[in-house]
């Protein structure tokens, strides 16, 4: 059994997640019994879509799975005092085998 846990490191209360797609544990990483943490920083655009992404802490066999998941996330576009707010988020994905 494999598990991927997501921890939001600097969750902004201005940008609310609407849909979180879980990362899929890469089969080659499972076969090699690779576990670890990937930290991803990403921007949330005004329309709620994920913009730029970058790996802050890497685990080469797990990076692609973490980035692919984050890029599919959708956030609620936030409005505050008539203006559109967007921001940057950082998440840690912990890939664990059981």
Q: Which residues of the chain have pLDDT under 50?
A: 13, 15
pLDDT value at residue 15? 47
Backbone angles phi, psi at 66, to 5 degrees: -65, -45
Across the chain, mean pLDDT equals: 82
The residues with which 44 forms a beta bridge, in sequence order, are: 50, 87
Q: Which domains does the chain have, with CATH numbers?
A: 2-97 (3.30.2420.10)
Tell me how far apart the alpha carbons of residues 57 and 94 are, in angstroms, rounded to a whole number: 11
Cβ neighbours of residue 31 under 8 Å, at least 6 residues apart? none
Q: Which pLDDT score is estimated for 29?
A: 95
pTM score of the predicted model: 0.83
Supply the pLDDT for residue 49: 87
Dist. CA 55–CA 72, nearest whole Å: 16
């Amino acid at each position: 059994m494999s598990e991927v846990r997501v921890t939001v490191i600097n969750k902004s209360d201005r940008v609310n997640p609407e849909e979180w797609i879980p990362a899929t544990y890469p089969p080659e990483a499972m076969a090699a019994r690779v576990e670890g943490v990937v930290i991803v920083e990403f921007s949330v655009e005004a329309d709620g879509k994920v913009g730029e992404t970058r790996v802050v802490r890497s685990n080469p066999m797990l990076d692609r799975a973490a980035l692919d998941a984050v890029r599919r996330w959708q956030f609620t576009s936030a409005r505050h005092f008539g203006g559109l707010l967007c921001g940057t988020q950082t998440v840690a994905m912990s890939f664990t085998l059981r």
